[in-house]
Amino acid sequence: MVKTEYLERVKEALTSSKFIKTCYLVLFTFAITAIISSQNFFFQSIIENGISKKDIIAQKTLTVEDVKRTELHKREVAQKVEPILVPAEDDFIKSNLETLQNSILQIRKKESAQADKKNDLNVLFDFSDNVNKDFIINYFLNVDESSLREAFDKASLSLVNILQAGITESDYEKGKIKTLIQSHLVSNVSKRQVAVITAMLEQIIVPNLVVDDAATEIAKMNAQDSVKPYKVTFQKGDKIVFEGEPVTRLKRDALREAGYNVYELNWQGILSIYILVLLTTIIFLFYLKYFEKQFNETKYMAFAGMLSIVACSTAVVLPIGFSPYILPIPAVIILGAIFLNPRIAFLLSTLIITVLTIGMQYNAQFVVVFVILSLIGMLMISRIHYTRRFDMIKVGFNLGAAGILVMLSLYFIDKCLIDVNNYLILRDCIFIFANGLTCSIIALGVSPLLEGAFHIITPYGLAELGDHNQPLLKRLQIEAPGTYHHSLMVSSLCEAAAEAIGADPILARVGAFYHDIGKLKRPLFFVENQSYFSIENPHNSLTPRLSKMVITAHPKDGVELAKEYRLPNIINDFILQHHGEGIAKYFYNQALQEEGAENVKEEQFRYTGPKPNRKETAILMLADAVESAVRSMKGATSEEIEQIIDKIIVERLNDGQLEDSPLTLKDIKIIASTFSRILRGMQHNRIKYQENIAEEFKKNKIEIPSKALDEDFEKKVKELESLKPKVLDPKSEDDDA
688-693, long-range: CB < 8 A, 24+ apart: 689/724, 689/725, 692/721, 693/717, 693/720, 693/721
Counting the structural domains of the chain, the total is 5
Q: Note the pLDDT tens digit of each residue in 280-333.
A: 999 999 999 999 888 888 899 999 999 999 999 999 888 766 788 999 999 999
673 and 699 assigned to the same domain: no
Least confident of 512-526, 665-679, 694-708: 694-708
CA distance 494 to 491: 5
pLDDT value at position 3?
65
127 and 101 assigned to the same domain: yes
CA distance 119 to 414: 75
31 Cα distance to chain centroid? 26
CA distance 399 to 598: 69
CA distance 498 to 623: 11
565 and 677 assigned to the same domain: yes
- Final residue of a domain: which of 456, 475, 503? 456
Residue 434's SS3 state is: helix
pLDDT (mean) for 456-463: 87
pLDDT, mean over the chain: 82
Instruction: Give the containing element (helix H, strand E) for 382.
Output: none
Partnered with residue 86 across adjacent β-strands are 210
477 and 572 assigned to the same domain: yes
C-alpha distances (whole Å) from 616 to each of 341, 475, 610, 674 are: 17, 24, 14, 14
57 and 89 assigned to the same domain: no
Q: Do 43 and 265 touch, CB atoms closer than 8 A?
A: yes
644 and 594 assigned to the same domain: yes
- Final residue of a domain: which of 682, 704, 729? 682
Residue 359's SS3 state is: helix
One-letter amino acid for residue 352 of the chain = I
CA distance 25 to 398: 35
For residue 281, tell me if it sits in a domain.
Answer: yes
390 Cβ partners below 8 Å, 6+ apart? none
445 and 494 assigned to the same domain: no
For residue 216, tell me if it sits in a domain.
Answer: no
One-letter amino acid for residue 292 of the chain = E
131 Cβ partners below 8 Å, 6+ apart? none
pLDDT at 709 over 80: no
Provide the residue range defining the domain that includes 150. Answer: 85-211
Between residues 352 and 243, the one the model is more confident about: 352
pLDDT at 348 over 80: yes
pLDDT value at position 576?
95
pLDDT value at position 161?
81
Q: Band of the pLDDT at 98, cuts 50, 70, 90?
A: confident
184 and 282 assigned to the same domain: no
pLDDT (mean) for 698-705: 50
Burial of 198 (0-12, 13-18, 19+ CB in 10 A): buried
Instruction: Give the containing element (helix H, strand E) for 719.
Output: helix 707-722
H helices of 340-389, in order, are 342-359, 364-381
For residue 220, tell me if it sits in a domain.
Answer: no
The Cβ of residue 673 has, within 10 Å, a number of other Cβ atoms equal to 14
Q: Note the pLDDT tens digit of each residue in 52-97.
A: 767 777 777 777 877 778 888 888 888 888 777 766 666 677 787 8
324 and 419 assigned to the same domain: yes
Q: Note the pLDDT tens digit of each residue in 389-429.
A: 788 899 999 999 999 999 888 888 776 655 666 777 888 89
Partnered with residue 65 across adjacent β-strands are 231
For residue 478, tell me if it sits in a domain.
Answer: yes
For residue 295, tell me if it sits in a domain.
Answer: yes
587 Cβ partners below 8 Å, 6+ apart? 544, 545, 547, 548, 551, 605
For residue 221, tell me if it sits in a domain.
Answer: no
CA distance 362 to 356: 7
Burial of 186 (0-12, 13-18, 19+ CB in 10 A): middle
Q: Band of the pLDDT at 611, cuts 50, 70, 90?
A: very high
Whose CA is closest to 446, among 568, 567, 303?
Answer: 303
CA distance 612 to 647: 19
The CATH number of whichever domain residue 626 belongs to comes to 1.10.3210
The Cβ of residue 391 has, within 10 Å, a number of other Cβ atoms equal to 16
572 and 638 assigned to the same domain: yes
385 Cα distance to chain centroid? 21
Backbone angles phi, psi at 62, to 5 degrees: -120, 140
98-133: burial string, b at 16+ Cβ within 10 Å, e else: eebbeebeebbeeeeeeeebbebbeeebebeebeeb
CA distance 710 to 579: 61
* DSSP count for the chain of H helices, then E strands: 34, 8
Q: What angle, rounded to 10 degrees, do the helices at 91-109 and 191-204 form?
A: 120
For residue 38, tell me if it sits in a domain.
Answer: no
532 and 614 assigned to the same domain: yes
DSSP letters for 201-223 = HHHH----EEE-HHHHHHHHHHH
For residue 2, tell me if it sits in a domain.
Answer: no
The Cβ of residue 421 has, within 10 Å, a number of other Cβ atoms equal to 12
In terms of pTM, does the model score above 0.75? no
Omega before residue 610 within 30° of 0, cis:
yes
pLDDT value at position 459?
86
Whose CA is closest to 545, among 592, 503, 513?
Answer: 592
606 and 494 assigned to the same domain: yes
CA distance 683 to 637: 8
